Amino acid sequence: MKQITDISSLRNEIDNWRQAGESVALVPTMGSLHKGHMNLVSLAHEHAERVVVSIFVNPTQFRPGEDFAEYPRTLATDARRLARAGADILFAPSSEEIYPEGTEQMTTVSVKALSEIFCGAARPGHFDGVTSVVCRLFNMVAPDVAVFGQKDYQQLVILRRMASDLHIPVNIIAGQTQREKNGLALSSRNQYLSKEEQKAAPTIYWALADCRQQLLDGQRDLDRLEAEGLDRLHAAGLDPEFFAIRKASDLSPPKADSQHLVVLTAARLGAARLIDNVLVEL
Ligand code: PAF
């Protein structure tokens, strides 16, 4: 595996692959890699001959007062794991490489309405930071395939919309959420949870799973299901931001005949903000 920090070396390597007729997958990450990320790397290998993993803790998607400074940075360990997993390139650029003119006046990519609801309402500007950096990464790598985790479901929908609106020819694939045995979705931010909070945190998944089951059983009172989800999270000591049943394709409210749904939630627990979702096929 080659570890690269500058765009021109990255492009040279990828040009060589292209000349040999090889396809390329990109797995964008912020590092602190866990089993969930490694699953995305395996998925990338299934879809392309070459795999680039980027590690960049992107400052523009953190709001003032959020955990940008504390976000775990474990580059050496991450690099060893990626080499063992057969990644071809680890691209770990500096902020100056990605944003050569700084971030104040930078060109921003914004997927308007979708970025202002749910997580975007709690973290204004967050998704503009995500789309702005992922668009740059797409321009640098020009991947055939890009792999993102389903856990960040709203991010996934927004990135698909960005690629479609900007005619970026990339196939965006979602990797299944990896979970602890107790149901808690793996996340780099789980390490912010205390021992006590770790016991309460899986409620987030069980509330979603229960809502899915009720939908599958024919319950169609969505307001009631959403209120029950919020109550359950409150009862377990979490501070939920939203618990919502939406169309999986674009997060709009479901119609009576909608078949592909997603139930998504975010809740605060101590220093952590946890997000999770489940898909429901009716
Ligand atoms: O999901 C993440 O880790 C980040 O939002 C991403 C897609 C790598 C952009 O910084």
CATH number of the domain within which 222 lies: 3.30.1300.10
- Whether residue 139 sits in one domain with residue 8: yes
Please state the three-class secondary structure of 69-94 as a single string.
CCCCCCHHHHHHHHHHCCCCEEECCC
Inside any domain, residue 68: yes
pLDDT of residue 51: 99
**Which of 276, 271, 240, 275 lies closest to 71, judged by CA?**
271
Atom of ligand 1 nearest to the CA of 57: 10
With a 6 Å cutoff on the Cβ, whether 276 touches ligand 1 is no
- Whether residue 59 sits in one domain with residue 164: yes
How many domains, in total, are found in the chain? Answer: 2
- Whether residue 91 sits in one domain with residue 52: yes
CATH number of the domain within which 99 lies: 3.40.50.620
Inside any domain, residue 180: no
Share of the chain above pLDDT 70, in %: 100
- The answer to whether the beta carbons of residues 177 and 208 sit under 8 Å apart is no
Q: pLDDT tens for residues 64-90?
A: 999 999 999 999 999 999 999 999 999
Inside any domain, residue 182: no
The pLDDT-based confidence of 120 (bands split at 50, 70, 90) is very high
d(CA 33, CA 50) in angstroms, rounded, equals 19
Q: 94 alpha carbon to ligand 1 midpoint, in Å? A: 15
**Which of 195, 151, 205 lies closest to 34, judged by CA?**
151
Q: Which of 144, 175, 206 is the last residue of a domain?
A: 175
176: phi then psi, degrees, rounded to nearest 5: -55, 145
- Whether residue 145 sits in one domain with residue 20: yes
Q: pLDDT tens for residues 262-273?
A: 999 999 999 999
Inside any domain, residue 181: no
How does DSSP classify residue 166? T
- Whether residue 51 sits in one domain with residue 161: yes
Q: 202 alpha carbon to ligand 1 midpoint, in Å? A: 23
Annotated catalytic residues are 37
